[in-house]
Amino acid sequence: MNLESKESMAYCGLNCAECQRRFADIRQKINDLNEAFEQVNVQEMVKMIPFMKGKYRGYKKFTTFFNEECPGCREKGGNPFCGIRKCATRKDYFTCAECESLCKKFDSLYKVHGDNEIQTSIEQIRSQGIDSFGDSN
């Protein structure tokens, strides 16, 4: 996927390319943290201290998840149960910008991404059209 093409625009108006850049930054920090743990021999430490085992397993699972490459919203990445994607595809919309106003389904998304980021992007698509997205980013 060309991450700067309009295909990187998710149904909700988030830009998957931007998300992948943020995740790349998180991955780097995870790698740094893993290196720091290796330096203190954390695996041996976990074997010695029983109550750490479950916590360490949880840490490994969560960080492994972050290390997996997301294919992007249009390739079924992100939340597999996303109601926004389901609704927009059912209406055959390229993005929710085609709806008159953003609905209640966005409330939980605002908590993570902030309403400004999403609304700015939706307004931009409405005023400039989705086809100019790849040129202007």
Task: Using CB under 6 A, list all residues that contact ligand SF4.
Answer: 10-12, 14, 73, 78-79, 82, 84-85, 87-88, 91, 93, 96, 99, 102-103, 105, 109
Indicate the residue among 46 and 85 with the shorter CB distance to ligand SF4.
Answer: 85
Q: How far is the CB of 15 from ligand SF4 (least distance, A)?
A: 9
Distance CA(100)–CA(122), nearest Å, equals: 11
Indicate the residue among 1 and 42 with the shorter CB distance to ligand SF4.
Answer: 1
Give CA angle at 112 (72, 90), nearest 5°: 50
Indicate the residue among 46 and 88 with the shorter CB distance to ligand SF4.
Answer: 88
Q: How far is the CB of 28 from ligand SF4 (least distance, A)?
A: 22
Distance CA(66)–CA(30), nearest Å, equals: 9
Indicate the residue among 46 and 82 with the shorter CB distance to ligand SF4.
Answer: 82
Long-range contacts for 108-111 (Cβ within 8 Å, ≥24 apart)?
Answer: 109/12, 109/14, 109/84
Q: How far is the CB of 114 from ligand SF4 (least distance, A)?
A: 13
Q: How far is the CB of 78 from ligand SF4 (least distance, A)?
A: 3
